[in-house]
């Protein structure tokens, strides 16, 4: 039989606030600033406002000597490229074409890191949810993130195809509204499915996730391979 272990993740409200702050910082704030300055000034103003936000966020972390989340690093790198192309071309279409194509780049990145001990998706998950550090030492958790990376690669590929179609069919204002709602809706569904899958995977190995206060569990020996199923009977 499996030894039952409870993993404390903290209060669900605290987890949602933590994830919301990261989402606001890396995605919603730069997108909102771009749209606001695009309407108040011009394309250049929108581009510089969005880029200025993420550079300021990275700069604050470097000054305070706090870790820069993987999601923020990715957002900053992509925004630098988008801004350079946007400033040189002065084309709103090309500016929004890039994030649509970047969905395919992220999908490829997820697939490339599948063989790694810690996948890119695991690093992103750690940005948006506060997991005990020892949790990622379990071979079953590493195996789960390899498998779920394939799901998310498919999600980003589908998202890229849908946003490309909408960009070709809609005005910029309609594209921003519809693509943002559609993209986040798709991502929310994939995140919910991933969470259910994650909890089921943990339960299969005698690990229970619990939202609430408490002392995080320690998992000595988790880096060792799991015993064969026959040995657990």
The domain spans of the chain are: 5-216
pLDDT of 33-61, one tens digit each? 988 988 898 878 888 999 999 999 999 98
Helix (H, G, I), strand (E, B) or coil at 6: strand
What are phi and psi for residue 214, nearest 5 degrees? 155, 175
Q: What pLDDT, in 10s, does the model give residues 2-39?
A: 456 666 666 667 777 777 888 888 888 888 898 898 88
Q: What distance lies between CA 32 and its chain's CA centroid? A: 18
Residue from 100, 94, 92 nearest 163 by CA: 100
Could you read off the pLDDT of 52-109 as tens digits, one per residue? 999 999 999 899 988 888 888 888 888 888 888 878 887 777 777 877 888 898 899 9
Q: Which of 27, 229, 196 is nearest to 127 (CA)?
A: 27
How close are the terminal C-alpha atoms of the chain, in Å?
6
58 within 8 A of 71, measured Cβ to Cβ: no
Q: Which stretch of DSSP H or E encloses residue 209? A: strand 207-210
Q: Is the separation of the CB atoms in 39 and 172 below 8 Å?
A: no
């Amino acid at each position: 039989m499996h030894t039952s272990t409870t993993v404390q993740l903290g209060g669900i409200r605290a987890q949602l606030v933590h994830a919301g702050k990261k989402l606001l910082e890396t995605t919603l704030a730069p997108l909102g600033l771009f749209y606001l300055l695009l309407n108040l000034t011009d394309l250049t103003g929108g581009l510089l406002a969005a880029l200025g936000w993420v550079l300021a966020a990275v700069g604050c972390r470097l000054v305070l000597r706090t870790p820069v989340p993987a999601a923020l690093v990715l957002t900053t790198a992509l925004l630098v490229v988008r801004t350079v192309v946007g400033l040189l071309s002065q084309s709103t279409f090309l500016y929004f074409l890039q994030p649509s194509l970047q969905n395919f780049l992220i999908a490829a990145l997820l697939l490339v890191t599948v063989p790694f001990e810690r996948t890119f998706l695991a690093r992103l998950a750690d940005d948006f949810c506060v997991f005990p550090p020892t949790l990622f030492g379990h071979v079953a958790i590493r195996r789960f993130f390899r498998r779920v990376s394939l799901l998310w690669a498919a999600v980003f590929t589908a998202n890229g195809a849908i946003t490309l179609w909408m960009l070709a069919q809609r005005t910029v204002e309609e594209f921003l509204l519809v693509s943002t709602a559609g993209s986040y809706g798709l991502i929310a569904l994939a995140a919910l499915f991933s969470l259910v899958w994650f909890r089921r995977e943990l339960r299969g190995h005698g690990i229970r996730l619990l939202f609430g206060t408490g002392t995080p569990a320690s998992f000595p020996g988790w880096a060792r391979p799991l015993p064969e199923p026959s040995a657990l009977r």
